[in-house]
Structure 1
């Protein structure tokens, strides 16, 4: 049920009032590290709960709530919803603890077991009916995300004016390469399916042991997207043998699929995602002052270059070679230093983007 709040309260006051209404007045809050979004999370001391603060003007909380309920209905582990105020953009949710895939992998946990569990969770999700009310991951959305590359990354190579002049041609070539995969309406696509947003939950069996986070931007689209996002991770190097093994593991569990078409979708979506992420990482550093993401640029660029080696991207590859010199090369230290120190102005009105 939507709650009523006092408009005059500042954000801290709104959080306190929400906690009081939920029966946790004065509960101590521990702020968790911020991510690439404007959302914030606070751990309630000793309660096994998180306070989710999702500013309603920038990131409404409703989509998170609806997708979480859908995932629960499928037997998958999204955080439980304890109390929600959609108008205020606040929710008390289940705290899954500390065992993110990122932490477990850094501590030496066997990566094969973790990735297999994550793939099995995707198989369960993709076999189930999708949430019909969600929007499609269509050509317009894919194009808006590709624009992040030409709007934020390419200006570092050739300047803002030159990048602006090339924008339309770039997006047209990308749209042509992705025209087929943009028609897919096969599955719920969580869109941020990677090690930072996956958790291992003790005491749960089967795919329920895989905790799912950060799914509020979910759409209906190609089944290949989330598997690609997991195996083509901008944040960590995924061994090629593991990538191939997990692709094979997924496809063996879904014999009804047209495997060659699925793999072609995977390749095209990989190019699209890596282009988007390159732009987002630059934007996070230059606009938002989150410079830590620059460390992932070389890996993401390598994945982008590899994805564009696919036959479908021959025209785009040739165009980049002719119009964006150095697009395959890592950014020089001087460019990165300037990006850390100088505000970087938006070239065009790109989509918000997410990661």
Structure 2
């Protein structure tokens, strides 16, 4: 691209020398992982520079098919591919006669559901979105295969994402997975993203956790602190290491750079304790055994992370538990009644919860993994005993009433647990604990189980509504009938009569 054609976009923020087509495929793989719906990537360069080679490799990476036919849309101008994460439209504007024709191609409509790669973007002049990533490709020496890729973007988020994906590639090159193929796996409700990486028939999971305090809205940051949510990957490293040392199946860590938020760990698979949407009893009983074994041990509050730092497991304070339960007031009650909860009702709710939590002050305390339910419990076919349950998503572990995790499992937010199965699992847990110690307090545990179940269900109901209304994820509302059914079941327990009266006042 001639110099005058670059004047409308900033100077390049990243320059890469690509040695050959294999390097181009790796770059395309890196771009495919970071690409999102709504993105526009403009590929600029002379004929033969490598625009089509990069595009073909990127489409194949998203399709997970290295042999996929990727025709050039030189004459049709646009070719759209449908993928699981989003659609991708490939535009070739070389034969565009009038920039206004871009509007006829419906670029804005395409970006509502997908991303776009645009070759020869200069043809469209100012009609392209300002928030686009421009990649200028040149061939410094026609006698060599090397290409020079320069990345330009006015949008600072593009710069951050591009540099981050390049940083991940550099991290992998230093690891035991050089030249790995990367695949987007998941992005959870926090800032974390997950990828699978494969190389030489080996696979691993890469977690990227770029926590930066100043990137969070003040309210989000305050909430995370108030309920003791972990804020960087040191918790994963510390908690995971202790679990493995105690004989529990947490993923092995292959490589980690905590200061950059990168952890490359063992891939425990995708099979959970649920199959075809229904709980598998054998697997749930195996998970109960894991909890009973954990709760029969004493767990430390301070853990080593590396040679000079420690990680402190936070306490699950009453204030944190009440703040979480209050998500029911913040999100579900307005959803149900059409109005916000007034100050008096909120004070009454908080006082009632404080009194209820005080009633179980003598309950057993220990590590609470906090999200001990089906999405985070991976079934290991080749294992026996507690090794059958692979543990993930334990970064928010706190020190609190151990009954919380039992309630999380037995009233699983993601699948229907019948009252009969709940009772059988509860009895199995109690039996295992009584076999460990004759002094196990079944009555006290039952009371703590009821309170922790009501607290967690209240929190999850609020979170599901928040995800639907604030974060644009309405599918979470489909879980509400299950959670409300669990709430009715729990509130029928004798020690929760006052809570039942309060909740029924807003629900009926």
Residues 185 and 241 from structure 1, CA distance in 2 versus in 1: closer, same or farther, beyond 3 angstroms?
closer
Residues 241 and 319 from structure 1, CA distance in 2 versus in 1: closer, same or farther, beyond 3 angstroms?
closer
Q: Which runs of 5+ in 1 are unaligned?
A: 1-6, 329-355
Shift of 1:86: 1.2
Residues 314 and 69 from structure 1, CA distance in 2 versus in 1: closer, same or farther, beyond 3 angstroms?
same
Q: Cα deviations across residues 188-212 of structure 1 (Å, max 9, x unaligned)?
A: 1111011111111133221112101
Superposition map of 1:138-217 within 5 A: 138-163=317-342, 166-181=345-360, 184=363, 186-217=365-396
Match of 2:486? 303
- Mapped partners of 2:360, 2:164: distance in 1: 41
8 Å contact kept, 1:154–1:163:
no
The correspondence for 2:195, drawn from 19, 42, 56, is: 42
Match of 1:260? 443
The correspondence for 1:118, drawn from 265, 271, 287, is: 287
Residues 288 and 270 from structure 1, CA distance in 2 versus in 1: closer, same or farther, beyond 3 angstroms?
same
- Mapped partners of 1:269, 1:153: distance in 2: 19
The correspondence for 1:87, drawn from 259, 265, 269, is: 259
Alignment partner of 1:199: what SS? strand
Shift of 1:159: 4.0
- Aligned length, in residue pairs: 316
- Mapped partners of 2:168, 2:390: distance in 1: 25
Alignment partner of 1:33: what SS? strand
- Mapped partners of 1:248, 1:139: distance in 2: 27
Residues 319 and 114 from structure 1, CA distance in 2 versus in 1: closer, same or farther, beyond 3 angstroms?
closer
8 Å contact kept, 1:194–1:233:
yes
Q: Which moved more, 1:222-231 or 1:150-159?
A: 150-159
Alignment partner of 2:495: what SS? helix
Residues 181 and 19 from structure 1, CA distance in 2 versus in 1: closer, same or farther, beyond 3 angstroms?
farther
- Mapped partners of 1:189, 1:12: distance in 2: 33
Superposition map of 1:20-99 within 5 A: 20-45=173-198, 46-57=201-212, 59-99=231-271
Residues 157 and 242 from structure 1, CA distance in 2 versus in 1: closer, same or farther, beyond 3 angstroms?
closer
Shift of 1:236: 1.0
Residues 23 and 212 from structure 1, CA distance in 2 versus in 1: closer, same or farther, beyond 3 angstroms?
closer
Residues 161 and 107 from structure 1, CA distance in 2 versus in 1: closer, same or farther, beyond 3 angstroms?
closer
8 Å contact kept, 1:150–1:163:
no
Alignment partner of 1:129: what SS? coil
Match of 2:499? 316
Alignment partner of 1:98: what SS? coil
Match of 2:298? 129
Q: Cα deviations across residues 258-295 of structure 1 (Å, max 9, x unaligned)?
A: 10111111111111011000110011111222222111
Q: TM-score, normalised by structure 1?
A: 0.83
Q: Cα deviations across residues 239-269 of structure 1 (Å, max 9, x unaligned)?
A: 2222111111111111131101111111111
8 Å contact kept, 1:185–1:220:
no
Alignment partner of 2:336: what SS? helix
Match of 2:400? 221
Shift of 1:170: 1.2
Q: TM-score, normalised by structure 2?
A: 0.59
Residues 179 and 14 from structure 1, CA distance in 2 versus in 1: closer, same or farther, beyond 3 angstroms?
farther
Shift of 1:73: 1.0
Residues 165 and 25 from structure 1, CA distance in 2 versus in 1: closer, same or farther, beyond 3 angstroms?
farther
The correspondence for 2:454, drawn from 252, 271, 280, is: 271
Alignment partner of 1:154: what SS? helix
Shift of 1:138: 2.1
Residues 148 and 182 from structure 1, CA distance in 2 versus in 1: closer, same or farther, beyond 3 angstroms?
farther
Point out which structure has higher relative CO (alpha carbons under 8 A, 6+ apart).
1
Shift of 1:20: 2.3
Q: Which moved more, 1:87-96 or 1:126-135?
A: 126-135
Give the structure with the larger strand fraction.
Answer: 2
Shift of 1:77: 0.2
Give the structure with the larger helix fraction.
Answer: 1
Alignment partner of 2:255: what SS? strand
- Bigger radius of gyration, 1 or 2? 2
